[in-house]
Amino acid sequence: MDLAKQARVLKPYFWTHQRDDLKLKLIAALGCLVLAKASNLATPWLLGLLVDKLNGEALVSTWVLGAIGLVVVYAISRLLALVFSELREVLFTHVSQHAIRVLTRQTFAHLHQLPLDFHLSRHTGSLDRLVDRGTKAIDFLLRYIVFNVGPTLIELALVCVIVWSLFGGLYALIITATVLVYIVLTLKVTSWRLRFRREMNSADNLVAGRMVDSFVNVENVRLFTNEHYETDRLDRGLAEYERAANQSRMSLLYLNLSQTLVVLAGVTAVLILAARNVESGLLTVGGFVTLNTYILQAFQPLNFLGSIYRQIRQSLIDMESLFDVLEEPTESDAINARTEIKGSTITFDNVHFAYEAERPILRGVSLTVQPKQTVAIVGETGCGKTTIGKLLLKIIEPDQGVIRFGSNELSQLQRHAVRDAIGVVPQDTVLFNDTLGYNVRYGNIDASDDEVREALKAAGMGEFLEHLSAGLETEVGARGLKLSGGEKQRIAIARVILKNPDILLLDEATSSLDISTERQVQKNLDDLASDRTTLVIAHRLSTIRHADLILVMRDGMIQESGDFEALIAKKGQFKSLWDLQQIANQKHTSDSTHHPTHAY
């Protein structure tokens, strides 16, 4: 995205048609900018008049002001320059903060609309930094380009014109030449320094990503006693940042020294010429003071030009990165996609899917789940069970074939409507680092506390809740680490109870639990599934004995189908899987008998 396009994209955020008050504040800020610069330009002239008045060399009539009056006017001029500058900042802050808020909200919403693959391929920490730096860059660019750099360059031009008219072309020529050399030098050196800043940003993103990943997986870190490894891994990223930061600071030293030499050369040349003119009577002392003040006023903003230019370049990079994310294509529905779903029959008709062309996952899968029927899908790892759930939720799209939901093709339904109609209990329930009530209420944001308690009770957590001193306000920790696996699964069930969907998708909901907890949670799931259309993706075959239909998958195809008794009698793949699990269960029971666990 080029600079012109970025400007067009940004304009609606700062010149918003919905907020006339912000338009007025932006106009007022620009007005304060003009008044502040006018006061700033008048100050050296007034100071020169004052000196000449005191020295008895006044060449310009000071009317009835006198020396005291000039002092007062000079002080008022400096005060007005400060007041108008501060008012400008206050007024523009209202505009910029609203723009940042709107843009951040839009970016956050856009990120939630991006395909799951985008998030799986990005570090959470680096994405957070990208958004933060991008929004701050926009504020910086508008604030400094519109209200600092642009007006400063105009002010420099006006100073040269004023000096030309008051003191002659030679002074203006020296000041102009100095400013041009300073600007060219600054731009060249700063462009050279940008590579160090890029290296710092790259290292900063790396450190942020590693830090977030490490804390998100803090339990794994402790289980494998890899605290020192994680610290060393982070330190390697910090060392890269340190190296780039040191190089950047050294290059800044070169920039500052060269800038100072250019400014000193220009100031010295002007003051030597002015001193000789004072000695020869061509220039008054007041004129010398005025000229010196204009020089300082012209060169003082240049001290910040290098850092501001670097930050402008960096802000453009950060803003471009943000806009690149905003240009990422979101999940899209058909133009006339429906929001209303009629019926709860699920049909897969000759569905093919592959994440990579050379590795097909589903090969012509056809199945039907009738209303209020429980259908289970089983098979070895990698056969495509979970992919069927992702296709149903429109997380991914089929390469070939048709999926129907009720009386409509799934492609003709909006994602939001489909996902709203399906309640999912996943294999690994990830919770927010918030309260128990917040996590359960996520199934229905508008649910009352009483409804949340009833959902927990229905999910088998009524007694658990009664023993919590903080009740629904109990903190569950990052990703629910303060809770057991069974408790997290029951929270997932309680969420779905609050959501009250027509269709359930149980994606290996008990496979990570022990046998005892699995049986308890399975009873809660059976109660939840009663009178609902249910699709079960199962690992443990004992959990689907009562399914109306069991589909056995292998190599992306359905090999067998029928109820539990029919598949056992068939003595095919399902019977082989069942026998293997029974042998494993018997071995586990035998090992537990011979090697009992001792409590300490």
Residue 449 lies in a domain: no
Q: Which residue has the tokens 């074939």?
A: 401
Residues 289, 371 share a domain: no
Find the domain containing 226 and state its range: 3-326
Residue 535 is inside which H or E element, if any?
A: strand 533-537
Give the Cα separation of 451 and 472 in Å (integer): 12
Residues 302, 274 share a domain: yes
* CA-CA-CA-CA torsion sign (5, 6, 7, 10): positive
Provide the 3-class DSSP secondary structure of residue 330: coil
Residue 598 binned pLDDT confidence (cut-offs 50, 70, 90) = very low
Give the Å distances, CA to CA, from 191 to 146, 203, 262, 314. Answer: 21, 19, 18, 10
Residue 450 lies in a domain: no
Give the Å distances, CA to CA, from 319 to 248, 305, 391. Answer: 21, 20, 35
Residues 127, 262 share a domain: yes
Residues 521, 373 share a domain: yes
Give strand pairing partners of 44: none
User: pLDDT over 90 for what percent of the chain?
Assistant: 11
Q: Which of 514 and 572 is assigned the larger pLDDT?
A: 572
Residues 358, 235 share a domain: no
Q: What is the mean pLDDT of residues 445-471?
A: 89
pLDDT in tens, 500-539: 888 888 887 776 666 666 677 777 777 777 788 889 888 7
Give the Cα separation of 533 and 530 in Å (integer): 8
Q: Which of 326, 356, 381 is the last residue of a domain?
A: 326
Provide the 3-class DSSP secondary structure of residue 36: helix
Residues 356, 247 share a domain: no
pLDDT in tens, 109-130: 888 888 877 776 665 556 777 7
Could you tell me the CATH number of the domain that includes residue 522? Answer: 3.40.50.300
Q: Which of 326, 354, 386 is the last residue of a domain?
A: 326
User: Residue 333 — φ and ψ, nearest 5°?
Assistant: -105, 165
Tell me the residue type at 344. Answer: S
Residue 1 binned pLDDT confidence (cut-offs 50, 70, 90) = low
Residues 167, 26 share a domain: yes
Residues 203, 59 share a domain: yes
Give the Å distances, CA to CA, from 5 to 2, 8, 97, 102. Answer: 5, 5, 22, 19
83's tokens: 């007041």
Lowest mean pLDDT among 67-81, 225-239, 371-385, 572-586: 67-81
- Distance in Å from the first CA to the final CA of the chain: 65
Could you tell me the CATH number of the domain that includes residue 37? Answer: 1.20.1560.10
Residues 268, 224 share a domain: yes
**Across 231-240, 262-271, 487-496, 574-583, which has the greatest mean pLDDT?**
231-240
**Across 66-70, 74-78, 83-87, which has the greatest mean pLDDT?**
83-87
Q: Which residues of 205-223 are buried (b: 16+ CB within 10 A; e: fewer)?
A: bbbbbbbbbbeebeeebee
Residue 231 binned pLDDT confidence (cut-offs 50, 70, 90) = very high
324's tokens: 């690149």
Residues 289, 251 share a domain: yes
Residue 165 lies in a domain: yes
Residue 436 lies in a domain: no
* CA-CA-CA-CA torsion sign (233, 238, 243, 244): positive
Residue 352 is inside which H or E element, if any?
A: strand 346-356
Would you state the pLDDT for residue 588? Answer: 56
pLDDT in tens, 17-64: 778 888 898 889 888 888 887 777 777 776 666 666 666 555 444 444
Give the Cα separation of 429 and 427 in Å (integer): 6
Give the Cα separation of 534 and 376 in Å (integer): 8
Residue 597 lies in a domain: no
**Across 11-25, 122-136, 378-392, which has the greatest mean pLDDT?**
378-392
Residue 452 lies in a domain: no
Provide the 3-class DSSP secondary structure of residue 26: helix
Residue 352 binned pLDDT confidence (cut-offs 50, 70, 90) = very high
Instruction: Provide the number of structural domains found in the chain.
Output: 2
Would you state the pLDDT for residue 122? Answer: 66
Lowest mean pLDDT among 184-198, 248-262, 396-410: 184-198
Residues 405, 273 share a domain: no
Q: Which residue has the tokens 């942020």?
A: 208
Spatial CB neighbours of 512, under 8 Å, sequence gap ≥ 6: 427, 428, 485
Provide the 3-class DSSP secondary structure of residue 356: strand
Residues 173, 121 share a domain: yes
Q: Which of 270, 297, 326 is the last residue of a domain?
A: 326
Residue 580 lies in a domain: yes
Residue 290 lies in a domain: yes
Q: Strand 549-554 to strand 557-562: parallel, antiparallel, or no bridges (unpaired)?
A: antiparallel
288's tokens: 């010398």
